[in-house]
Structure 1
Amino acid sequence: MPRNESASTVITAYADVPQPVRGQVRDLRIRWALEEIGRDYRIDLLDVFSPRPDSYREWQPFGQVPAFDDGEQRLFESGAILLYLGEQDERLLPADPATRWQAIAWLFAGLNSIEPFVAQIGMLDIFQSGKAWAAEARPSALKLVKSRLSSTEKALGEREWLAGAFSLADILLVTVLRILDHTDILESFPVLAAYKARGESRPAFRRALSEQLESYASPATSGE
Structure 2
Amino acid sequence: MPPQADPEPALIPAITAFEASPDRGRGHARDMRVRWALEEVGQPYDVRLVSFAEMKQPAHLALHPFGQIPTYEEGDLALFETGAIVLHIAQQHRGLLPEEATSRARAIAWMFAALNTVEPPIVEREAAMLMERDKPWFEARAPLLEERARRRLADLSARLDDADWLDGSFTAADLLMVTVLRRPAAADLLDSYPNLEAYIARGEARPAYRRAFADQLAVFTAQSPRPD
Give me the TM-score of the superposition, normalised by structure 1: 0.88
Q: Say yes or no: does 1:192 pair with 2:207.
A: no
Report 1:8-157 matches (<5 A): 8-19=12-23, 22-50=26-54, 52-157=56-161
- Contact 1:13 1:27 survives alignment (8 Å): yes
How many residues matched? 213
Q: Which amino acid aligns with 2:87?
A: L
Contact 1:122–1:180 under 8 Å retained in 2: yes
- What is the rounded CA distance, in whole Å, between the counterparts of 1:21 and 1:214 in structure 2? 8
| Letter paired with 1:85 | I
Shift of 1:125: 2.0
The 1:16/1:38 distance shift into structure 2, 3 A limit, reads same
Alpha-carbon distance between aligned partners in 2 of 1:154 and 1:118, rounded to the nearest angstrom: 18
For 2:126, give the aligned amino acid: G
Question: Which segments of structure 1 move beyond 4 Å, counting only runs of 4 or more?
Answer: none
**Counterpart code for 2:139:** A
CA, structure 1 residues 103+132, in 2 after alignment: closer, same or farther (shift >3 Å)?
Answer: same
Deviation at 1:215, TM superposition (A): 1.3
Q: Secondary structure at the match of 1:25?
A: coil
Q: Does 1:209 pair with 2:203?
A: no
Q: Judging changes above 3 Å, is the alpha-carbon distance between structure 1 residues 111 and 53 closer, same or farther for their aligned structure 2 residues?
A: same
SS in 2 for 1:13: strand
The answer to whether the 8 Å contact 2:16/2:48 transfers is yes
Q: CA deviation at 1:60?
A: 0.6
The alignment-based identity, stated in percent, is 39
Are the counterparts in 2 of residues 14 and 216 from structure 1 also a CA contact under 8 Å?
A: no
- 8 Å CA contact 1:180–1:186 kept in 2: the answer is no
How far is the alpha carbon of 1:217 from its aligned partner? 4.9
Q: Are the aligned partners of 1:12 and 1:43 in contact in 2 as well (CA < 8 Å)?
A: yes
Q: Deviations over 1:16-36 (max 9, x none)?
A: 112378420100000000011
Root-mean-square deviation (Å): 2.1
Whole-angstrom distance in 1 between the partners of 2:198 and 2:31: 23
What amino acid sits opposite 2:127 in the alignment? M
Corresponding residue SS for 2:15: strand
**How does the TM-score come out when normalised to structure 2?**
0.86
Q: Deviations over 1:126-181 (max 9, x none)?
A: 33334333333211000011001111111112221112211110110000001037
Matched with 1:3 is none
Q: Extract unaligned runs of 5+ from structure 2.
A: 1-10, 223-228
SS of match in other structure, 2:96: coil
The AA in structure 2 aligned to 1:59 is L
Q: More displaced, 62-71 or 12-21?
A: 12-21
Unaligned runs of at least 5 residues, structure 1? 1-6, 219-224
Counterparts of 2:155 and 2:53 in 1: how far apart (Å)? Answer: 37
Q: CA–CA distance in 2 between the matches of 1:138 and 1:94? A: 40
- Relative distance call for 1:176 and 1:147 in structure 2 (3 A) is same
Shift of 1:182: 7.8
Kindly name which structure, 1 or 2, has the bigger radius of gyration based on alpha carbons: 2
Amino acid at match of 2:155: S
- Greater relative CO (CA pairs within 8 A, separation 6+): 1
Distance 1:51 1:201 in 2: 32
**TM-fit CA distance, 1:50:** 4.3
